[in-house]
Amino acid sequence: MHVPVRDFNLDKEEVINFFKINIEYARNFKTLHSKIKGFLDILSKTYEDGRPSVDDSENDCIKAILDLIEEIGSEDIKEFYDSVGARPSGLFPQITHARPMLSLDNTFSDEDVADFVASVYRFLGVMPDNSIAFTAEPKIDGLSMSIRYENRKLKTAATRGDGTTGENVTANILTIKDIPTELPADAPDVVEVRGEVYMAKSDFLALNAQMEAEGKQTYVNPRNTAAGSLRQLDAKVTASRKLKFFAYAWGEMSTMPSDTQSGMVETFRRWGFPVNPLTRRLTSVEEIIAHYRDIGLQRADLDYDIDGVVYKVDRLDLQARLGFRSRSPRWATAHKFPAEQAFTKVEAIDIQVGRTGALTPVARLEPITVGGVVVTNATLHNADYIEGIGNGGERIRPEGHDIRIGDTVIVQRAGDVIPQVLDVVLEKRPETSAKYEFPKTCPVCGSHAVREKNDKTGKLDSVTRCTGGFVCSAQAKEHIKHFVSRNAFDIEGLGTKQVDFFFDSEDPALMIRTAPDIFTLKQRQEASSLTRLENIDGFGRVSVRKLFDAIDARREIALNRFIFALGIRHVGETTAKLLARSYGSYATFAEAMQEAAPKFGEAWNELNSIDGIGEVVAASMVEFFKEPRNLEVVSRLLKEVTPRDAEAVTASNSPVTGKTVVFTGSLERFTRDEAKARAESLGAKVAGSVSKKTDYLVAGPGAGSKLDKAREVGVTVMTEDEWLALIGG
C-alpha cells in the first residue's frame, strides 16, 4: 500500500539538518524520531516490493536520509534508535546466532591486567607460575561479523546485533575480497568464522577525497563508514568501499581443527582468511604488558584503527573450564588504550531522576570534541563526586577539588565511550563561583530527597533518592521506559519520545501511566470516537499498526524478562535469570517473595541461599512484594501478559540436571568458582546455604555448620571424589 512521504509532514531540509547534528546532541533532541521512523517504514516497503512506491522528489529525500545515516554510521544510529526504543530501518532479515556473540570485559591499567591473569590462575586453582599461555591481539575498531559455512561454502553472514540475533548481510559480505566464499576440503562441515570488518585508513581518506571532489558530504571516521557501507541495500555500493576483514574467533564448529586459540587463528590463515600479524602467544604479565605498549607505539602507523589489545587464554580446554559470566567470558579481556581528554566549561548542572528515585547530576558542557565525538554533557555521578570528597573523607580527585558551574574541567570519554569529568582547572575558576548545593528535595515532584544509611557499615549511601515513589512522575515514567527496554519487554516503537507522549497525555484513550496501560491502549483506541492515534502528528496508520502488533507480540514473555521488567531495585538481568531458574514459574516466585517477608523464615533462607542473591537484593524483592500498589499493578499486568515458565536447563547424560548442590569446606580438587561453573554447566543449581530443598552437599576439609545442617535435614553428603564420580570426572 502506498503511503506518501508528505503524510508524515516532513520537509527534506528538516531531515538533513536533523541528521547533521551529532549523535550526542541528537540523544537530547529526538523530536523527529517518529517522522524518521515513518520514512524508514516507507523505505522498507519500497525495497521489499522491488518497485518504487514514492515519486521522484520523495525518493530523492529518502536517498538523502540514507546517505546521512551512513555518514553518521550505522552502529551510532543504531545506538541512537535503541535509546528511543526503536531499531534501524529493519531492511535486513534477522539471523539467530548458533552461539551467542558475547562482549568482553574491559581493563584499563597494568594492575587490571595483572588481576585478570591472577583471576585465571585462582579460578583454575593453580599457582601463577607462567604455565598458562595467553594470546594478545589488537582490538580492531570495526564491525563484528559472524560468517557461516556449510559443506565448505559460504552460507550466511550476520552482524553481532544484540549478541543473540544479528542482521543478515550475506550479499554485502560476498563483496569483500578478504573473505573466501569456499573453504578447503579439510575444513569441517559446519564452520562459523568470526572477526571484524573494517575500512583501512588509506581507503577512508581516498573515499573522502573522492566525495569532496564531487562536492558531496565527507564521512566522519573509518569505523562508522564501514558500518554504514555494510548495511547498503545495493551490494555494489558495499563493493566500491573496499572493506577488509580480520578473523580471530569462531562460533559453531562441527569439529575443532585445533586445541588452542593460536592454533585456530593459524587455521583461519591457512583457510585463506586475513589474521592480524601483531598477534602473539605470551606467558607472563610482563610480556603481555610489554606487547600492549609495543602495539600502542605502532598504533598511529597502522592502516587500521584499533582501540586496545585483547588477551585470551590460549588452551581451549582451559577456556572451557573457565566458562562464561552472564555477558562475557572469564578467559578473555580487552585492555583498552587510555581515553582521550579535552578541556571545556561547565555551563550548568542538571539533576535527572531515575526509575529507582536516584538523583543523578549531569554537567551541561560547552560542546567539545573528544575522541572524534562532540560531547555536550557528562555524568557527575552523585553529590560526593561534585564535592570531591567521599563520605568516608577520601579524596575523589587528586586534589579533592569540588566542581562548580563556570569551572573549566578536564573531560574524557571513559573506555572511549562514556563522557566524564575528571578534574577541575582551579586556576581558571571564576572569582564569583559558588559551591554547588545538592538539592534536598526532588526537582520533579518536590518530595524529600534522602541518602539512606547502610545498617551494617553505618555509612551513608552515595546516592540521593527521591522518597516520592510512584507519586513522582519522573520515577513512574522511567519505570515505563525500563519496562519497554530491549532486555525487558523490548517493545519496538515505544521509545523515549513515545513514552513521554503517552505518559504526559491527559486523554484516557492515550495515557500510559503504568505498564498494564500499554496492553489496553489498542482497546481504548478502538473504543474512542474522537482521539485517534494515527491522526496525531508524529504517528500514522502504518506506524500505529506496527506499534499495536509489537505490543501484542509481547503478551507472552520469558519469565526472566518479566521479572527484570518489574523494575525491582537491585534486580538486574543476571539476577532475574537466577530467580527465573530457581523458581521456575511466576506463581511460585511471587508466592515465595510474599512468604519471605518474615525474615529468617524458611522462604527467606531459601531466597538467600540462591548463589548470587544476597541480603540487600533479597530485602529489596521482599519490600517490592509488600507494597500494595506494586501488587495491584502486577495483578493488572498479569491479566494482559503471560510469563512463560523458565525452561529447564538440560545437559546430556548429566545425573545432576535440576538438582540443587551446595559446596562447603576447603575444596582440594578444584576451586570454588570452577566447581560452581562445572555444576551449572551440567544443569545443576548452586546454592549458598543448605535447606530442605538441597539435594547434595559436597564437603571438603573443614566443613562446619553447613555440614551439620545437611545432616540435620537429611541432605545427601558427599566428598569431592564422590561428586566427581557422580558427574563423570
CB–CB of 436/403 below 8 Å? yes
H runs (alpha helix) in 7-96: 12-20, 23-28, 33-49, 56-72, 74-83
Contacts of 358 (CB under 8 A, 6+ apart): 463, 464, 465
Query: Among residues 30, 37, 139, 497, which one is catalytic?
Result: 139
- Separation of alpha carbons 273 and 195, rounded Å: 10
Give the sign of the dihedral formed by CA 145, CA 150, CA 152, CA 154: negative
Residue with cell 533479597: 618
Which residues face 329 on adjacent strands?
324
Size of the chain, expressed as the number of residues it contains: 729
Percentages of the chain per state (helix, strand, coil), in multiples of 5: 40, 20, 40
- Separation of alpha carbons 576 and 580, rounded Å: 6
- Separation of alpha carbons 553 and 382, rounded Å: 39
DSSP at 346:
E
| The Cα angle at residue 636 between residues 630 and 637, in degrees rounded to 5 | 85
CB–CB of 278/304 below 8 Å? no
Which residues face 344 on adjacent strands?
409
- Separation of alpha carbons 570 and 621, rounded Å: 8
- Strands 556-558 vs 642-644: parallel, antiparallel or unpaired: parallel
CB–CB of 32/81 below 8 Å? no
Establish whether 139 is a catalytic residue: yes
Exposed/middle/buried for residue 153 (C-beta within 10 Å: 0-12, 13-18, 19+): exposed
- Separation of alpha carbons 478 and 569, rounded Å: 13
CB–CB of 449/420 below 8 Å? no
How many H-runs (helices) and E-runs (strands) does the chain carry? 27, 24
Dig out the grid coordinates for 491 from the structure: 517493545
- Separation of alpha carbons 559 and 582, rounded Å: 11
Return left, alpha or beta for 513; rule: phi > 0 is left, psi -120 to 50 is alpha, else beta: alpha
Exposed/middle/buried for residue 432 (C-beta within 10 Å: 0-12, 13-18, 19+): exposed
Give the catalytic positions in this structure: 139
